[in-house]
Amino acid sequence: MNSPRRLLSRLRNLRAHGSAPLSALVQLVASELVSEVCSIYVQRPGDILELAATEGLNPDAVGHTRLRVGEGIVGLCAATGAVMNLPDAQNHPAFAYRPETGEEPFASLLAVPVRRSGRTLGVLVVQNRTPRNFADPEIDDLETVAMLLAEMLSGDGATDGSPEGLAATVPRTFTGTPLMSGIAVGPIVLLRAVRPIVRLLADDPGAEQDRLDQAVDRMQRGLEDLFADVPNNGGAADVNASREVLEAYRLVASDAGWLRRVADVIRGGTTAEAAVQRVASELHDRMRRISDPYLRERLADMEDLANRLLTSLTGEAPRAPIPEGAILLARRLGPAELLDWHARGIAGAAVEEASPAGHAAILARALGIPAIGGLRGMLDSAEQGDDAVVDADDGQFLLRPETEVRQAYTRAQEARNAKYAELATWRGRPAATADGVELKLMLNVGLSLELPQLERTGADGIGLFRTEIAMLARGSVADVAEQAAIYSRVLDEAGDKPVIFRTLDLGADKLLPGTVSGEENPAMGWRSLRVGLDRPALLRRQLRALLLAAGGRDLSVMFPMVATVVEFRAAKALLLAEAKRVRPSPGTLRIGTMLEVPALMWQLPQLVKEADFISIGSNDLLQFLFAADRGTPSLYDRYDFLSQPVLDLIEQLVVAAKSACVPVSVCGEAASRPLEALVLAALGVTTLSMPASGILPIKAMFAQVDLQSFRSVLTAIRRSGGFGLREPLATWAREQTLIT
């Protein structure tokens, strides 16, 4: 094979004479890569891939041979964004025969997606008669050509799968996942990419490396300035406390691995900005195939950093002021980008690829920005300045809503603000029912940035501090001193209010590199306490940090995913052993368990003798009780918390725990829903732990309820014999105007 620099040089000369025809490009690539065939397929409206140019196949097939995205090897390459390197393509199960091309003699095939800004514009293919795998340098060269081709196709009729003929005035509704509840109504602003790259090829790699080094330095200093200025950016107190998320972002920014890869591409003859774009595209294609949702969320961080580095190289376009009430639309959104836009005054955000576990989602909740994610196809339909509605309560994004719909949401937003003002009056009142039953409403939190919610909601304490969230945000398990500092801040902020720390609940959908292994069913596999008991050094490190953080104060520790009393005893023994070594000792040390695994119900006599408290994790309990993975959409609503088996189980637990004077609480999602909270209180669970958004509404609801009277209603409905109890309970609650 010829030198890659010669290929780049000839590409540069080809483009120097104006807009190079695709036919000339395929001839050049076939010649330089010593391939008998080179073809370009361009994506057309309707997810169609059309043969646009070829060297080596039947020229009459150009403009006539078409494949759907996902059809054949070329279609599979476009659909997945993955390189296809096949020594015997025609015997591949995805092969789609097109007789007009005359490709029968050619065995080996290399297909590379042509992508720009995360979108597939076409596929570049080379073929040979001899069966063989193409070598890595050949793949690398073809990917460089594909990058150049993407710039050509973006202005030459290629599409990115946008709906054909979609009018820019048609209202559209997209369904997604709420990241932060709330409503925002206003004009949209699009998160634009940095200035387009006008110079792809370079003559002096050394000069380009110098430009990269200087740009990295400017980017790093800019990030430090941004994070240092966070206290002045509107929602100061919240974000200032978000050390975990921002520190994790810093670690990614300073990681030398991806910058080394950029340097490698520069040495191949591209400019610094083209190399950054190339590596960012490689990372995107690699990470989008990762199934774990948390690790995929790091893609947004990497793209944020790549865009910042490109801006540092090319210069930032002037920023126009954004309109009042603007809604930010983005394909992906990194935490630093969200801080930038929050400072500029956005009222909401809609993100195509985002999940509640992402850094941007965590910050959106801290900043109080209504946000929704998972909105596939949204950006293809939106234009700058379009009116939109973010309904992050129901997971809806409305683009160009009808006037009546927009006005209805505006009224709902005003009513919501008035309701919040009314609910705020409950902050300083104790939680109690109308007939005098006292309750405790606690917070579920996982980051120090959420701690100000204690004061805002008037919560009675923290019923669940998820210690793994800070580690997930950081990207690794911190050492003892770092963990102790985090836990100490939590206790400081809580003051005299109780805090229950849950030990690391890793596994299932919460993964850290090196802590868990891939499994077919990780939700029921090696996770949570099982990891801690199998790696006692990891668990001891955390327990020591908790004891140090207490510094003589009261300490409550809870173990997750306990399946047997033997496991609980083993974990408890580790904690008590560490407690003997740490001084000062906690004022009191309470050791409890979560009840998520139904097997514990057959060990209650032993369990209530060992545990100081029990907390029901309703999310996992429901999935284990009904063998229904809560991450499977088709099963999400099939099994109900308000059903006879669940209520029988809780009642049995409450009776057994009460006889042993062991407190029982609920810290899963069910505690924050009014109907479920009411039923739990009637069953005798009077300590409920929930997200901050649930505290005041639940407190206001309880104040209207005569709990003793409701117990009679609940008993009558349960005796009716139905499996599901929700509808009759909801009917009663609506009649009492407890729910709407």
Q: pLDDT tens-digit profile of 99-130?
A: 999 999 999 999 999 887 667 889 999 999 99
User: Among the listed ranges 156-170, 395-409, 575-589, 653-667, which one has the minimum average pLDDT value?
Assistant: 156-170
The reply to whether 520 and 581 lie within a common domain is yes
pLDDT at residue number 28: 86
Residue 7 — very low, low, confident or very high, per pLDDT cuts 50/70/90? low
Higher pLDDT, 486 or 160: 486
Name 611's Cβ contacts closer than 8 Å, sequence gap at least 6: 568, 591, 592, 593, 662
Residues 149 and 206 in one domain: no
Question: Based on the domain organization, do 139 and 183 belong to the same domain?
Answer: no
**According to the per-residue pLDDT averaged within each range, which of 312-326, 341-355, 558-572 is highest?**
558-572
More confident residue, 45 or 433: 433
520 within a domain of the structure (yes/no): yes
Classify residue 69: in a domain, yes or no: yes
Instruction: Looking at the structure, tell me whether residues 112 and 216 fall in a common domain.
Output: no
Lowest mean pLDDT across 438-447, 559-568, 623-632 = 623-632
Calpha distance 547→550 (Å, rounded): 5
* pLDDT over threshold 60, residue 221: yes
Q: Is 630 inside any structural domain?
A: yes
Closest CA to 387 of 373, 372, 369, 405: 405
Q: Which residue has the higher pLDDT, 101 or 6?
A: 101
More confident residue, 305 or 592: 592
Q: Which of 153, 188, 208 delimits the end of a domain?
A: 153
Does a cis peptide bond (omega within 30 degrees of 0) precede residue 163? no
Domain-embedded: residue 420:
no
Res. 509: pLDDT tops 50 = no
CATH number at 264 reads 1.10.274.10
Residue 118 belongs to some domain of the structure: yes
pLDDT score, position 149: 81
Any idea what the CATH number is for the domain that residue 18 is in? 3.30.450.40
For residue 235, name the pLDDT band (cuts at 50, 70, 90): very low
Quote the number of domains for the chain. 3
Q: What is the pLDDT of residue 31?
A: 85
Same domain? 139 vs 208: no
User: Which pTM value belongs to this model?
Assistant: 0.58
For 85, 97, 107, 478, 489, the CA distances from 93, given in Å and listed in that order, are 14, 11, 14, 47, 57
Which of these ranges, 95-109, 460-474, 638-652, has the smallest mean pLDDT?
Answer: 460-474
Q: 485 pLDDT exceeds 50?
A: yes
Q: Are residues 136 and 212 in the same domain?
A: no
Tell me which residue range forms the domain holding 381. Answer: 172-409
Q: What is the CATH number of the domain that holds 721?
A: 3.20.20.60
> 437 versus 354: which is more confidently predicted?
437
Q: Regarding predicted confidence, which is higher, 272 or 518?
A: 272
| Stretch 703-708: mean pLDDT | 94
> What average pLDDT does this structure show over 455-478?
82
Please determine, for residue 248, whether its predicted confidence score (pLDDT) is greater than 80.
no
Residue 711 lies in a domain: yes
Mapping DSSP to helix (H, G, I), strand (E, B) and coil, where does residue 618 land? helix
Residue holding tokens 């996992």? 620
| Rounded average pLDDT over 683-703 | 92
Q: Alpha carbon of 587 to those of 501, 551, 552: distances in Å?
A: 16, 9, 5
Q: Which of 125, 153, 181 is the last residue of a domain?
A: 153
Same domain as 80, residue 205: no
Tell me, yes or no, whether 179 and 141 share the same domain: no
Please compute the mean of the pLDDT values over residues 277-306 and round it to a whole number.
62
The answer on pLDDT for 334 being more than 50 is yes
Task: Specify whether 515 is located in the same domain as 603.
Answer: yes
User: What is the rounded average pLDDT of the residues 550-579?
Assistant: 95
Please tell me the predicted confidence (pLDDT) of residue 582.
92
How many CB atoms lie under 10 A from the CB of residue 169? 8
Same domain, 49 and 142: yes
- Same domain? For 149 and 176 the reply is no
Smallest CA-to-CA distance from 51 within 112, 129, 143, 123 is with 123
What is the arithmetic mean of pLDDT over 510-538?
64
The whole-angstrom distance between residue 128's C-alpha and the CA centroid of its chain comes to: 42
**Domain contains 417:** no
Q: Which residues are catalytically annotated? A: 359, 667
Burial label for 390, CB within 10 Å (0-12, 13-18, 19+), is: buried
Helices (H), 112-255: 136-153, 205-228, 236-240, 243-254
Q: Which of 119, 153, 187 is the last residue of a domain?
A: 153
Q: So what's the pLDDT on residue 739?
A: 78
Look at residue 161 and tell me if it is in a domain: no
Residues 185, 104 within the same domain: no
